[in-house]
C-alpha cells in the first residue's frame, strides 16, 4: 500500500464529498461550512475554488460537464468555470432549519441527496430525495438524522446508506429501472470507540470503504459478512469521506474536518481539514456515477445566476 500524503496546503472547516473527474483527471471536494467547491488538478494547474455563498452538502458531475449540487437553498446545476448556477428545485423550502448533506448519483444517472436538521439538536428531520433525469424530485425516505455514505454496487442491485448516529450501514434492494429501494437491512455496525460512520465508497471487489468521524481512520468492510477487512489510520480525528481517483482509480482520496475541534485538539492534529491521498492504495474503486441531464436541454436553460 502507498503512503499517505496531503494533497494541497488547503484546509477545510468541514471537507467532504470528494468526486473524481475522469474527464480532466482532477479531484473535486467541498467545504460544507464555507460553501467552497474545490477542484485540484495535479501539476501546474493546481487548486481552483468556487464559493457558492451558502452551505453545501454534495456535488456530482453531470454528463453535460456541469455539476449538480445540493446546497442550502436546494438543488442546482453549477457551471464551475463560469461561476454560475441554475436553481432546479428546493424540496424543503418549507423547512428552513434543514440543509442538504451527502449526495451522489446512481448508476442510471439520478442524483440522490439527503437532508438534515442544521441545528445542534440532532432531530430526525431529514429525508432522502432523488432528482430524476427529468428534473422532478421524489422523496425516498423520511425520519433520517444525518444521512451519509450513499453507494451502489456494480451489479446495480444494492444501495448502501448510512444514518450516522445509528452507527450502522444499511443495505437496500435497488431497482435501477425506476430507482425504487426496498427491503432495508442492517449489514455493518461500527463498534463503540471507532467513531461514527460518515462518507462511504465502494471498490471493484464490492467492498465498502467507510470514513470514521472522530475515529481517526477509514476502513474496508465486507457487506456480506459485516466484517472489517482493513483499516488505514489518519493523523486527524474527523475523517469525513473517501473516493477512489486517478486514471486507474487506484488512489484513495480522503476528506477530513476541523470543525468543532478545540484549540488544544487542533495543536495535536494540525492537518485537520486536509484532503489526503493514498497513492497506489492497492485497491481500485468504481468510477463515480454522473447525472444524466441529457433530457434537461442545458443549452435552453436561461436565467443562470452568478455567484
Ligand atoms: Ca458526511
The predicted-structure confidence for 118-148, as pLDDT tens digits, reads as follows 987 689 999 999 999 999 999 999 999 999 9
pLDDT at residue number 2 = 80
Residue 300 domain flag: no
CA of 256 to the centre of ligand 1 (A): 10
Residue 217 domain flag: yes
DSSP 8-state class, residue 34: T
Residue 159 domain flag: yes
pLDDT at residue number 197 = 98
In Å, what is the CA distance from 182 to each residue of 76, 141, 170, 265? Answer: 28, 10, 11, 42
Beta strands in 52-146 (DSSP E): 56-61, 67-71, 74-79, 84-89, 98-105, 111-117, 126-131, 137-144
Residue 31 domain flag: yes
pLDDT at residue number 121 = 63
pLDDT above 90: residue 265: yes
Using one digit for the tens of pLDDT, what is the confidence trace for 44-66?
678 999 999 999 999 999 998 99
In DSSP terms, 206 is beta-bridged to: none
Cα atoms in the 13 Å half-sphere on the side-chain side of 13:
11
Residue 91 domain flag: yes
pLDDT at residue number 69 = 98
Using one digit for the tens of pLDDT, what is the confidence trace for 168-202?
999 999 999 999 999 999 999 999 999 999 999 99
Query: What whole-number distance in Å separates Cα of residue 217 and Cα of residue 256?
Result: 10
Give the angle 272-73-31 at the CA atoms, nearest 5°.
Answer: 10
Residue 305 domain flag: no
Report, as residue numbers or ranges, the catalytic residues.
Answer: 198
Comparison of pLDDT for 132 and 299, the residue scoring more: 132
pLDDT at residue number 42 = 78
pLDDT at residue number 193 = 96
Share of the chain above pLDDT 70, in %: 99
- Average pLDDT along the chain: 95
CA of 19 to the centre of ligand 1 (A): 13
Residue 43 domain flag: yes
pLDDT at residue number 32 = 98
Residue 304 domain flag: no
CA of 149 to the centre of ligand 1 (A): 7
**Can you list the alpha helix ranges (DSSP code H) found in 139-283?**
263-268
What lies within 8 Å, CB to CB, of 85 at 6+ separation is 52, 69, 71, 76, 77, 78, 79, 304, 305, 307
CATH number of the domain where residue 234 is located:
2.120.10.30
In the structure grid, which three cell numbers stand for residue 133, read together?
433525469
Query: What whole-number distance in Å separates Cα of residue 120 and Cα of residue 118?
Result: 7
DSSP SS3 for 71: strand
pLDDT at residue number 57 = 98
In the structure grid, which three cell numbers stand for residue 112, read together?
440522490
Domain count within the chain: 1
CA of 303 to the centre of ligand 1 (A): 31
Q: What is the pTM of this model?
A: 0.97
Q: Distance between the two ends of the chain, CA-based, in angstroms?
A: 41
**Can you list the alpha helix ranges (DSSP code H) found in the chain?**
263-268
pLDDT at residue number 122 = 81
Give the angle 277-278-280 at the CA atoms, nearest 5°.
Answer: 130
Range of the domain at 166: 4-295
Residues by chain with Cβ below 5 Å of ion ligand 1:
102, 148, 198-199
Amino acid at each position: 500500500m502507498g503512503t499517505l500524503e496531503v494533497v494541497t496546503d488547503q484546509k477545510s472547516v468541514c471537507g467532504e464529498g470528494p468526486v473524481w473527474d475522469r474527464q480532466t483527471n482532477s479531484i473535486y471536494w467541498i467545504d460544507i461550512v464555507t460553501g467552497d467547491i474545490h477542484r485540484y488538478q495535479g501539476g501546474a494547474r493546481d487548486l481552483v475554488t468556487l464559493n457558492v455563498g451558502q452551505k453545501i452538502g454534495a456535488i456530482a458531475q453531470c454528463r453535460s460537464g456541469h455539476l449538480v449540487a445540493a446546497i442550502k437553498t436546494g438543488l442546482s446545476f453549477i457551471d464551475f468555470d463560469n461561476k454560475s448556477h441554475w436553481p432546479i428545485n428546493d424540496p424543503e423550502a418549507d423547512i428552513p432549519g434543514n440543509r442538504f448533506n451527502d449526495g451522489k448519483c446512481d448508476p442510471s444517472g439520478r442524483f440522490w441527496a439527503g437532508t438534515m436538521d442544521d441545528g445542534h439538536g440532532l432531530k430526525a428531520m431529514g429525508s432522502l430525495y432523488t432528482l430524476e433525469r427529468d428534473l422532478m424530485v421524489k422523496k425516498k425516505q423520511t425520519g433520517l438524522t444525518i444521512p451519509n455514505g450513499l453507494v451502489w454496487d456494480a451489479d446495480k442491485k444494492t444501495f448502501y446508506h448510512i444514518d450516522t448516529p445509528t452507527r450502522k450501514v444499511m443495505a437496500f434492494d435497488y431497482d435501477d429501472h425506476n430507482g425504487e429501494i426496498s427491503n432495508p437491512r442492517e449489514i455493518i455496525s461500527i463498534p463503540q470507540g471507532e467513531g461514527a460512520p460518515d462518507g462511504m465508497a465502494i471498490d471493484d471487489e464490492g467492498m465498502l470503504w467507510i470514513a470514521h468521524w472522530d475515529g481517526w481512520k477509514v476502513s474496508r468492510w465486507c457487506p456480506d459478512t459485516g466484517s472489517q477487512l482493513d483499516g488505514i489510520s489518519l493523523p486527524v480525528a474527523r475523517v469525513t469521506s473517501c473516493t477512489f481517483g486517478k486514471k486507474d482509480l487506484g488512489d484513495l482520496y480522503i476528506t477530513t474536518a476541523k470543525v468543532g475541534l478545540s484549540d488544544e485538539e487542533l495543536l495535536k492534529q494540525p492537518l485537520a481539514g486536509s484532503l489526503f491521498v493514498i497513492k497506489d492504495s492497492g485497491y481500485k474503486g468504481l468510477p463515480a456515477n454522473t447525472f444524466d441531464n441529457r433530457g434537461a436541454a442545458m443549452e435552453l436553460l436561461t436565467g443562470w445566476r452568478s455567484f
